[in-house]
Amino acid sequence: MLTHGKIWTAIDALASRYGLLPSGLAKRAGLDVTAFNPSKRVTTTGGTSTGPNKAEKGSRSTFLP
């Protein structure tokens, strides 16, 4: 199952693969450089991508810009 945490892990891995920080990856994608900041990796229930939370167990999570 694709989870909030797995998506963030994949974004970090992609940035690392190209020798970038997440902010550099966001910039290359044409996004605001703060788009992938850890402070924005929050679910609608207030959980983070570092572990399971209610959003990962069925409710919908949202990326907060």
Dump pLDDT digits (tens) for 8-49: 999 999 999 999 999 999 999 999 999 998 888 876 676 665
pLDDT at residue 38 in the model: 85
Specify whether the CB–CB gap between 41 and 49 falls below 8 A: yes
Residue 63 pLDDT > 60, yes or no?
Answer: no
Per the model's pLDDT, the better-predicted residue between 51 and 22 turns out to be 22
pLDDT at residue 43 in the model: 67
pTM comes to 0.63
Query: Dihedral angle at the C-alpha atoms of 39, 44, 49, 55, nearest 10 degrees?
Result: 180
